[in-house]
Amino acid sequence: MSDISELETRITTALERISAGLGALAPAGASEPGEVAALTAALEEERTVNAQLEERVKAIKEKQDSTVETLVGEVDRLRALLETEERTLAKLRQVNNDLRSNNDALRQAVSQGVAEPHLINKSMMAELEGLRAAQNADRVELDAVLGELTGLIEDANAKESADA
């Protein structure tokens, strides 16, 4: 982008020098009308090229702005998805830690010959919670996959519509 700006600056400077040169030639008398006509034609040609470059710069900037907006939206969507998956994973880890500690307590009670029903119930509840958390993690993952597939399908449909 800076190359285009640099070229535009150079062209504008050249146009100003040509204009100044034409201004100096005109008062001195048009002793060589062919040279003045050639310089005028060159000036007009440079102005045309400059206008074309300005249009190209404008088109490139608009395309870049729309691409940046699209990418920002995609990053925001992926960030939200990542946060959801991190929360789900943290919940799954917590449930698994609870299950391990309950199983350790149950194992100690059984090794001491004491079968405590509340430890068994607590262990079963932790296991159920672990299954629910795992199911929720699977659901979040499936939603992410479906979201990606939906985006791909929409892009393909948009491309087909544009080609038709």
Query: Taking residues 5-20, what's their average pLDDT?
Result: 83
pLDDT(55) > 90:
yes
pTM for the predicted model, two decimal places: 0.49
Q: Which helix (H) or strand (E) holds 133?
A: helix 117-163
Angle between helices 33-111 and 2-28 (to 10 degrees): 170
- Predicted confidence at residue 52, as pLDDT, reads 93
pLDDT(30) > 60:
no
Nearest to 132, CA basis, from 82, 89, 92, 103 = 92
- Predicted confidence at residue 102, as pLDDT, reads 81
Angle between helices 33-111 and 117-163 (to 10 degrees): 160
SS3 labels along 54-121: HHHHHHHHHHHHHHHHHHHHHHHHHHHHHHHHHHHHHHHHHHHHHHHHHHHHHHHHHHCCCCCHHHHH
